[in-house]
Amino acid sequence: MPTPAVYTDFLNASLDNLTTKLGTISGLSVVNDVRNANPPCVLINPPTIDTFARGTFRMTYTLQVLGLGPGNLDGERNLLSNVAKILDAGIGVTSCRPTQIAIGAGTFIAYELIIPLESQ
Protein backbone atom coordinates (compact mmCIF):
# COMPACT_ATOMS: atom_id res chain seq x y z
CA MET A 1 0.00 0.00 0.00
CA PRO A 2 1.43 3.42 -0.93
CA THR A 3 2.30 5.86 1.83
CA PRO A 4 -0.26 8.70 2.01
CA ALA A 5 1.02 12.16 1.18
CA VAL A 6 1.84 14.44 4.10
CA TYR A 7 0.73 18.05 3.71
CA THR A 8 2.29 20.68 5.97
CA ASP A 9 1.11 23.96 4.38
CA PHE A 10 -0.95 26.41 6.43
CA LEU A 11 -4.23 25.57 4.68
CA ASN A 12 -3.91 21.87 5.46
CA ALA A 13 -2.72 22.72 8.97
CA SER A 14 -5.96 24.66 9.46
CA LEU A 15 -8.00 21.61 8.41
CA ASP A 16 -5.95 19.37 10.71
CA ASN A 17 -6.38 21.78 13.65
CA LEU A 18 -10.16 21.95 13.19
CA THR A 19 -10.40 18.17 12.84
CA THR A 20 -8.34 17.71 16.01
CA LYS A 21 -10.39 20.26 17.98
CA LEU A 22 -13.67 18.63 16.94
CA GLY A 23 -12.21 15.21 17.69
CA THR A 24 -11.79 16.17 21.36
CA ILE A 25 -15.57 16.42 21.77
CA SER A 26 -16.77 13.30 23.55
CA GLY A 27 -19.16 11.10 21.59
CA LEU A 28 -18.65 12.92 18.29
CA SER A 29 -17.41 11.12 15.18
CA VAL A 30 -15.54 13.53 12.86
CA VAL A 31 -14.58 12.88 9.23
CA ASN A 32 -13.18 15.09 6.49
CA ASP A 33 -13.72 12.64 3.64
CA VAL A 34 -17.30 11.99 2.53
CA ARG A 35 -16.33 8.38 1.75
CA ASN A 36 -15.93 7.86 5.50
CA ALA A 37 -19.22 9.48 6.54
CA ASN A 38 -21.27 7.12 8.69
CA PRO A 39 -24.11 9.01 10.42
CA PRO A 40 -24.34 10.24 13.05
CA CYS A 41 -21.14 12.15 12.42
CA VAL A 42 -19.64 15.52 11.53
CA LEU A 43 -18.35 15.99 7.98
CA ILE A 44 -15.84 18.82 7.48
CA ASN A 45 -16.10 20.20 3.94
CA PRO A 46 -13.30 22.06 2.12
CA PRO A 47 -13.24 25.74 3.12
CA THR A 48 -13.95 28.77 1.03
CA ILE A 49 -10.87 30.99 1.09
CA ASP A 50 -10.85 34.79 0.98
CA THR A 51 -7.82 37.05 1.12
CA PHE A 52 -7.83 40.30 3.09
CA ALA A 53 -4.30 41.55 2.88
CA ARG A 54 -1.03 40.14 1.77
CA GLY A 55 -0.54 36.95 3.73
CA THR A 56 -3.85 37.06 5.61
CA PHE A 57 -6.56 34.60 4.67
CA ARG A 58 -10.05 33.84 5.97
CA MET A 59 -11.16 30.26 5.57
CA THR A 60 -14.83 29.54 6.09
CA TYR A 61 -15.58 25.94 6.89
CA THR A 62 -18.99 24.36 6.46
CA LEU A 63 -19.56 21.45 8.79
CA GLN A 64 -22.38 19.07 8.07
CA VAL A 65 -23.59 17.49 11.29
CA LEU A 66 -25.41 14.38 10.10
CA GLY A 67 -28.22 12.88 12.15
CA LEU A 68 -29.76 9.46 12.19
CA GLY A 69 -32.39 8.42 9.71
CA PRO A 70 -34.99 10.35 7.78
CA GLY A 71 -35.81 13.00 10.35
CA ASN A 72 -38.10 11.51 12.98
CA LEU A 73 -38.06 12.93 16.51
CA ASP A 74 -35.41 10.49 17.74
CA GLY A 75 -33.09 11.49 14.90
CA GLU A 76 -33.80 15.18 15.44
CA ARG A 77 -33.00 14.97 19.15
CA ASN A 78 -29.73 13.13 18.43
CA LEU A 79 -28.83 15.76 15.83
CA LEU A 80 -29.59 18.64 18.20
CA SER A 81 -27.51 16.99 20.92
CA ASN A 82 -24.49 16.76 18.59
CA VAL A 83 -24.91 20.37 17.44
CA ALA A 84 -25.09 21.47 21.11
CA LYS A 85 -21.79 19.67 21.81
CA ILE A 86 -20.09 21.66 19.05
CA LEU A 87 -21.61 24.96 20.17
CA ASP A 88 -20.55 24.27 23.77
CA ALA A 89 -16.96 23.62 22.62
CA GLY A 90 -16.53 27.30 21.68
CA ILE A 91 -15.15 26.65 18.21
CA GLY A 92 -16.57 29.86 16.75
CA VAL A 93 -19.72 28.73 14.95
CA THR A 94 -21.44 31.77 13.42
CA SER A 95 -24.59 30.09 12.08
CA CYS A 96 -26.50 26.80 12.06
CA ARG A 97 -29.00 25.87 9.37
CA PRO A 98 -31.12 22.70 9.08
CA THR A 99 -30.85 20.71 5.86
CA GLN A 100 -30.89 17.21 4.41
CA ILE A 101 -27.85 15.42 3.00
CA ALA A 102 -27.88 12.58 0.47
CA ILE A 103 -25.14 10.01 1.01
CA GLY A 104 -25.26 6.91 -1.14
CA ALA A 105 -28.87 5.73 -1.26
CA GLY A 106 -29.82 7.46 2.00
CA THR A 107 -31.00 10.93 2.91
CA PHE A 108 -30.14 12.18 6.37
CA ILE A 109 -31.28 15.15 8.42
CA ALA A 110 -28.42 17.51 9.13
CA TYR A 111 -27.32 20.93 10.25
CA GLU A 112 -24.82 23.01 8.33
CA LEU A 113 -22.59 24.95 10.70
CA ILE A 114 -20.43 27.83 9.49
CA ILE A 115 -17.03 28.40 11.11
CA PRO A 116 -14.80 31.26 9.90
CA LEU A 117 -11.08 31.04 10.73
CA GLU A 118 -8.23 33.42 9.91
CA SER A 119 -4.70 32.39 9.07
CA GLN A 120 -1.44 34.09 8.15
pLDDT at 6: 86
Helices (H), the chain: 10-23, 73-88
Domain map of the chain by residue range? Answer: 10-119
Distances (CA, A) of 69 to 29, 58, 79: 16, 34, 10
Provide the pLDDT for residue 1.
61
What CATH architecture applies to the domain 10-119?
A: 2-Layer Sandwich (3.30)
**Confidence class for position 35, pLDDT limits 50, 70, 90:** confident
CA 2 → CA 39, 44, 105, distances in Å? 29, 25, 30
Q: Say which range, 17-21, 54-58, 78-82, 84-88, has the weakest mean pLDDT.
A: 54-58
Which has the closest alpha carbon to 34: 22, 51, 25, 46?
A: 46
Higher-scoring residue by pLDDT: 69, 1: 69
Percent of the chain's residues with pLDDT above 70: 97
